[in-house]
Amino acid sequence: MTLTVLHTSDWHLGAPLYGHARGEEHARFLTWLLGALTEHKVDVLVVAGDVFHQATPSADAQEAYFGFLARVAALGTVRQVVVVAGNHDSPARIDAPGAVLGALRVHVVGEIVGERVERCLCPIESDTGEVELVVAAVPFVHEFRLGVRTTGRSPAEVHADLCARFRTLYTELADRATQRWPGARLIATGHLTCTGTQPGDYATELHMASSVGALGPDVFDERYEYVALGHIHRAYAVDAQQRVWYAGAPVPVRFDEARTAGQVLLVRLGEERSVERIDVPCSRRLVKLVGEPDDLIERLQALELDGELAPFVHVEAVVERLVPGLAAQLLAALERNPRQPTPLLLAAIQTRARGLSAEPRPTRARLRELDAEQVFVALHRARRGGDPEDDLLRLFRRVVADVGDGAGAETPVEVDVGASA
């Protein structure tokens, strides 16, 4: 019998773009995803981490998440939903509603602690009650939790230790699953940086990938027929056998992610495994235009874009020197565009002198429109002259997950969220 698994990840519910909310785009994606579950007769839905954009998501983001899970349960056709935490999620927040969500056939794993590794195993039963498939639902696991220490050790030693610990974890889960449910098929999840077959696979880094290198696909036990990964925001197979896959972000988080369509992966486990890419309909285009002012004005007036929502446009003007009133000219060009059914939204304007690298122009945003991490990064740039290092950022995220980020502040303070030009 063929089992159908839909693999998705990196929703980043609640993620803003230059202060603009993205809730409408996420709502349209979740509605489309609900239809895809029915259309493709999906048995198991796997969400491989980064459900939310921040550890303390807004009420709107949580409503979108729980509302979607309730609608999936109401379909009555999906046997199981499996959700694991990513590095942006609070493990405790993902785990907290587990008992209630379990009644809706939603299995959540926020964190692995000590002997609780068994909770990662999620059995999928057939209509006759036989366990046909077991999902090893592994969330983002910090290297500290795996016992990996870096003090006084070379990058090569740390990398070898990290790979060995992950290999042991996935092998132990496969052992436990096969002992408890002999004959059941196995798949796994992960939220990590894994060596890929395409250039640029380290677009976002995790587990010290920048200093010690990414994990290899050999950390996943061969008994897993498929491995559903999250963290990298584009869909592709990591290994030549096309057993280990990233699903990518269905809604682009940044402008540079909008060059390719968001996707989900439809995995069929029968006599042979097949993986089908399914493009997610784009409800809002993200466009970045770079050029001289006169050229930009002409392109803005002629810009043609489809989509249900008004597109976001990022304009980068290349100039010999600062041009007074340039922002107003660009905005006027947008207003004169006769081809748009809805107004274009100018998300950001940057300027740079010819021959120099682009630097973001300061963008003013109210504090209540920013999450804790954005404020932290902005302050670090202002005080230290650059972005925080990966280790410091990961530590900050852990602190936010433990104590909260004070979401909901209404003080109308303005901060610079871009570096000076």
Task: Give yes or no: residues 267 and 148 share one domain.
Answer: yes
* Sequence-distant (≥ 6) Cβ neighbours of residue 95 within 8 angstroms: 85, 108, 109, 110, 111
CB of 196 within 8 A of CB of 14?
Answer: no
DSSP state of 257: G
Task: Give yes or no: residues 317 and 188 share one domain.
Answer: no
* Whole-number pLDDT of residue 220: 96
Task: Give yes or no: residues 140 and 264 share one domain.
Answer: yes
Please give the residue range of the domain that contains residue 378: 362-421
Q: What is the dihedral of CA 121, 273, 203, 348, to 10 degrees?
A: -100
CB of 284 within 8 A of CB of 310?
Answer: yes
DSSP state of 285: -
Task: Specify the CATH number for the domain of residue 58.
Answer: 3.60.21.10
CB of 27 within 8 A of CB of 67?
Answer: no
Task: Give yes or no: residues 229 and 373 share one domain.
Answer: no
Task: Give yes or no: residues 13 and 124 share one domain.
Answer: yes
Task: Give yes or no: residues 85 and 142 share one domain.
Answer: yes
pTM flag (> 0.85): no
Task: Give yes or no: residues 339 and 376 share one domain.
Answer: no
Task: Give yes or no: residues 349 and 388 share one domain.
Answer: no
* Whole-number pLDDT of residue 359: 42
Domain end marker among 255, 279, 303: 279
* Whole-number pLDDT of residue 346: 59
Task: Give yes or no: residues 85 and 230 share one domain.
Answer: yes
What are 100-150's pLDDT values in tens digits?
A: 999 999 999 999 876 678 899 999 999 889 999 999 999 999 887 788 887
Domain end marker among 311, 333, 358: 358
Euclidean distance between CA atoms 64 and 109, whole angstroms: 19
**In 43-62, which positions are buried (b, 16+ CB within 10 angstroms) versus exposed (e)?**
bbbbbbbbbbbbbbbbeebb
CB of 192 within 8 A of CB of 242?
Answer: no
Task: Give yes or no: residues 247 and 290 share one domain.
Answer: no
Domain count, the chain: 3
Task: Give yes or no: residues 35 and 99 share one domain.
Answer: yes
Domain end marker among 231, 258, 279: 279
Task: Give yes or no: residues 258 and 184 share one domain.
Answer: yes
Pick out the chain residues at pLDDT < 50. 197, 199-203, 341-344, 356-363, 404-421
